[in-house]
Amino acid sequence: MYVPSYWDYDQLFKNIDVCIIGSGIVGLNAALSLKAASPALQITVVDSGFLPYGASTRNAGFACFGSMTELLDDLQQESADQVFERVKLRWQGLLRLRAIIGDHEMEYEPLGGYEVFTPADEASFELCRNSMNEFNLRMEALTGMKQTYTVADEKIASMGLGNTKHMICNNGEGQINTGRMMSALIHKARAVGITILNGLRIYEIQSNGNSVSLACEDGFTFKAKKVLVANNGFARKLFPEMDVVPARAQVLITEPVEGLKLKGSFHYEKGYYYFRNVGNRILFGGGRNLDFETEKTTEFGLTPLIQNTLDRLLSELVAPGLKLNIAHRWSGIMGLGSSKTTILKKVNPGIFCAVRMGGMGVAIGSMIGSQAAQLVLESD
Ligand SMILES: Cc1cc2nc3c(=O)[nH]c(=O)nc-3n(C[C@H](O)[C@H](O)[C@H](O)COP(=O)(O)OP(=O)(O)OC[C@H]3O[C@@H](n4cnc5c(N)ncnc54)[C@H](O)[C@@H]3O)c2cc1C
């Protein structure tokens, strides 16, 4: 139980115009957009972690807007308009993030994104090749870029990959340093007077006419005029009925690898596996498809099934023949659901949410944050 002092209440918990729950990419972008639109607003962002503890500081840093197998898969469930509308959102979100933070600051590198096909994936590759012209026309209309997708088989050897028969390059894809991106957002938010409070878990929010009360796990309550919930994979802790399913994603990074050829970001098996170079290290993640049920959790952690598979694929597919030592392993929690579309809406008077980033938050987070800010400003 934490009992705030009079000074705490007076300084930190009084006259809050908008309280944002979650200091990930969405919460911080929403806070920055609110402050830019209305500088006098008192904005407080609270986060249960002593650092943001969800996905924004724990992801792979792919600045990607759609690999061909992923989009073909989406087209099985949704109309072409819906699928390419989301591609547009991802593209615009990345441009926005780059404009807010700066390419140099977040070490944005336009190294291209590659989809990897093993000999067993021949049918899937053919499907992509047959759709390539149509996809390129769609992409050109959205991004202005000609030939977004190209077959890149001639680069397989120069990347040092094993067991790879084909590659398709997305020439518009890049990668960022996730840690630098989040540090820059936190710094920018504090610099414009946004308060960020860490270690504060909200377990209940309630509208009471013209204010909202927030109950903290530590046993005290405070009020804000409006609340925006931006806790993504943890949304059901506050809204048990919401169509958001937590999805854990496990990742590893190697020590620097002597002789590493790999450069760029890579997707394998419809994006269930992803790897990239981080300088001369390899970051490798995925494998959720090996055990969907166990990975539907808000608990951070690693499992032998997934980590052993990552280890095996690392030496068979990603960097065969190189001496690989694992430096670090971790996990993050994403927010998925029955649809890949974000839930951005007013939930109750004064209470709004922007959750379910569908594992694409690096790409869409800045746009969703800005749209959430607009919703908060325009609604009661
Ligand atoms: C391993 C991994 C790899 C990924 N790779 C990519 C990628 O390459 N490209 C891409 O576009 N996306 C990627 N993603 C997805 C992307 O990181 C997320 O979509 C994005 O970070 C979500 O941002 P967010 O702000 O919505 O949520 P989060 O970053 O999860 O932030 C939510 C915050 O809410 C806080 N919180 C939760 N509950 C409460 C509560 N009750 N009270 C107070 N605070 C609370 C949490 O501590 C957390 O900090 C990846 C995700 C993971 C896990």
Instruction: Please indicate, yes or no, if residue 362 is contained in any of the structural domains.
Output: yes
Residues 203 and 305 in one domain: no
- Closest CA to ligand 1's atom 2: 59
Cβ of residue 362 lying under 6 Å from some atom of ligand 1: yes
Q: Which atom of ligand 1 is nearest to the CA of 368?
A: 26
Q: Which atom of ligand 1 is nearest to the CA of 354?
A: 26
Amino acid identity at 192: V
Pocket test for ligand 1, best of 25, 232, 277 (most atoms within 8 A of CB): 232
Instruction: Please indicate, yes or no, if residue 168 is contained in any of the structural domains.
Output: yes
- C-alpha 103/C-alpha 63 separation (Å) is 12
Please tell me the predicted confidence (pLDDT) of residue 2: 86
Please tell me the predicted confidence (pLDDT) of residue 325: 98
Cβ of residue 350 lying under 6 Å from some atom of ligand 1: no
Residues 184 and 289 in one domain: no
Give whole-number Cα distances, 25 to 39, 46, 185, in Å.
20, 13, 8
For residue 210, the domain's CATH number is 3.50.50.60
Q: Are 218 and 1 in contact (CB under 8 A)?
A: yes
Residues 127 and 258 in one domain: yes
- C-alpha 13/C-alpha 317 separation (Å) is 53
Instruction: Please indicate, yes or no, if residue 309 is contained in any of the structural domains.
Output: yes
Residues 235 and 260 in one domain: no
- C-alpha 299/C-alpha 302 separation (Å) is 10
- Closest CA to ligand 1's atom 22: 361
Please tell me the predicted confidence (pLDDT) of residue 139: 98
- Per-residue pLDDT for the chain (380 aa), expressed as one digit of tens each? 889 999 999 999 999 999 999 999 999 999 999 999 999 999 999 999 999 999 999 999 999 999 999 999 999 999 999 999 999 999 999 999 999 999 999 999 999 999 999 999 999 999 999 999 999 999 999 999 999 999 999 999 999 999 999 999 999 999 999 999 999 999 999 999 999 999 999 999 999 989 999 999 989 999 999 999 999 999 999 999 999 999 999 999 999 999 999 999 999 998 999 999 999 999 999 999 999 999 999 999 999 999 999 999 999 999 999 999 999 999 999 999 999 999 999 999 999 999 999 999 999 999 999 999 999 999 97
Residues 50 and 144 in one domain: no
Q: How many domains does the chain have?
A: 2
**Chain-centroid distance, C-alpha 28:** 13
Residues 205 and 231 in one domain: yes
Cβ of residue 46 lying under 6 Å from some atom of ligand 1: yes
State which residues form the domain around 268: 108-174+245-336
Residues 113 and 211 in one domain: no
Q: Which atom of ligand 1 is nearest to the CA of 355?
A: 26
